[in-house]
Amino acid sequence: MAKKPNIRDLSLPELEAQMLEWGEKKFRARQIHQWLWQKGAGSFAEMSNLGKGLRDQLSAAFDIAKAQVEDTQRSSDGTIKYAFRLQGGQLVEGVLIPTAKRVTACVSSQAGCSLDCKFCATGFLKLQHNLHHYEIFDQVQILRAQAEVEFGRPLSNIVYMGMGEPLLNYRNVLRSVEMITSPEGLGMSPQRITVSTSGIAKMIRRLADDGVKFEFALSLHAADDATRSRIMPINDSNDLATLREALTYFYEKTRTRVTYEYCIFKDVNDSLAHARDLAAFSRLIPSKVNVIEYNAVPEAGFENTTRARMDAFIQYLEKEGVIVNVRRSRGKDVDGGCGQLALKNWEPDMLKAPAS
Ligand code: SAH
Ligand code: SF4
């Protein structure tokens, strides 16, 4: 049987046209839209303010294909990791992270990743699927409901820091943000959303051209080309000079402060010389730096640095006037920390061949 189109690929005007074509009243489209994007309906049968005839007609013509929670794992620190099964069969992971002030949802934009950052669990997985915008949206909608159930608090922040490189699935990421922020969707503020990239210069310029309003984070992890290329092969084609130009362009167009993510690895990027390069890089445009504790991925062969070296690194940055936040690892005991998503429960053929 031919696959039915997903109704969530239709915009509100397109839904309206469909209703008129079927001889229905135009306002039915808005009702369906609300069920899909505000109430999170997973089936047409739930759409109780539509007549049975229309519900049946919708089911015959369209799918909703909502992502399903397949598994959850609870960390001792309150973090909960969710495995989502997509309609195509792929698994992706999302994480709900409660802190005193926030409840943050971390969502995936791709199943696997085409990039090969040496320290990241997702980087070991082949890219299997670029998530549709509604598959990203589903993770947010489910995690938003879970925040209320689990913590009795509303979801406050969303970070695109799960599996995958958001800027290599650009259109779907932007469209998901649109529905998360739209009053006809979840109505959340774009300032509560952070999209993180490993640094695709061309797409950073595109973000600037599109005038995006969300927060923007660049995974820097080293501010000299030799070190960065060693841990992030994407740096060979998007080196620091290229990124500097793209960032300057981004700032000129958006006037948005950028956040640099700096995961700190023992004996790789944790010296004061590295801190000096980072401080210099961070002066390019208004920015802040998140120094992140490494969540060790055993297969990767990197270690977290010592507390003493991390403290010295941070002190140096602060002395240089850099705005620094320290991100302690969360959800480690369920492999739910940043960059730990995905190495378990995967079939061997989903793994990339080891680098020769
Ligand atoms: N692909 C995007 C977003 C997903 S990764 C990116 O690279 O930015 C989200 C963040 O987790 C990135 O800053 C990434 O460098 C970081 N990260 C990856 N593996 C990690 C690990 N094992 N421990 C801590 N952070 C990690
Ligand atoms: Fe992909 Fe980001 Fe992991 Fe790099 S850090 S492999 S870009 S998910």
pLDDT band, residue 65 (cuts 50/70/90): very high
Q: Is residue 109 within 6 Å of ligand 2 at its C-beta? A: no
Show the domains of the chain with their CATH numbers.
7-61 (1.10.150.530), 68-350 (3.20.20.70)
Q: Annotated catalytic, 93? A: yes
Average pLDDT, integer, range 68-76: 91
Mean pLDDT, the chain, integer:
93
pLDDT value at 223 more than 90 = yes
- Which ligand sits closest to the CA of 340? 1
Q: Please tell me the distance from the alpha carbon of residue 238 to that of residue 118, in angstroms, as a whole number.
A: 16
pLDDT band, residue 298 (cuts 50/70/90): confident
pLDDT of 337 = 60
- What is the position in ligand 1's atom list of the atom closest to the CA of 197? 8
Question: Among residues 105, 117, 110, 65, which one has the least CA distance to residue 91?
Answer: 110
115 CA to middle of ligand 2, Å?
6
CB burial of 21-58 (b: ≥16 within 10 Å; e: otherwise) equals eeebeeebbebbbebbbbebbbebeebeebeeebbeeb
3-state secondary structure of 343: coil
Q: Is the pTM of this model over 0.75?
A: yes
Average pLDDT, integer, range 144-170: 97
pLDDT band, residue 1 (cuts 50/70/90): low
Beta strands in the chain (DSSP E): 68-74, 80-85, 91-98, 103-106, 110-111, 129-130, 157-160, 193-197, 215-219, 258-264, 287-293, 324-327
Q: Is residue 196 within 6 Å of ligand 1 at its C-beta? A: yes
**CB 170 within 8 Å of CB 212:** no
Tell me the per-residue pLDDT of 176-219, one tens digit each, with 9 for 90 and over.
999 999 999 999 999 999 999 999 999 999 999 999 999 999 99
Average pLDDT, integer, range 33-42: 96
CB burial of 263-291 (b: ≥16 within 10 Å; e: otherwise) equals bbbeebbbbeebbebbbebbeebebebbb
179 CA to middle of ligand 2, Å?
25
Q: What angle do CA 251, 256, 180 make, to 5 degrees?
A: 130
220 CA to middle of ligand 2, Å?
12
Q: Is residue 15 within 6 Å of ligand 2 at its C-beta? A: no
Average pLDDT, integer, range 87-97: 93
pLDDT value at 283 more than 70 = yes
Average pLDDT, integer, range 90-110: 94
pLDDT band, residue 356 (cuts 50/70/90): very low
- What is the position in ligand 2's atom list of the atom closest to the CA of 116? 6
pLDDT of 333 = 64
Q: Please tell me the distance from the alpha carbon of residue 105 to that of residue 214, in angstroms, as a whole number.
A: 15
- The residues pairing with 91 across neighbouring beta strands, listed in sequence order, are 85
pLDDT value at 75 more than 60 = yes
pLDDT value at 328 more than 90 = no
Higher pLDDT, 3 or 113: 113
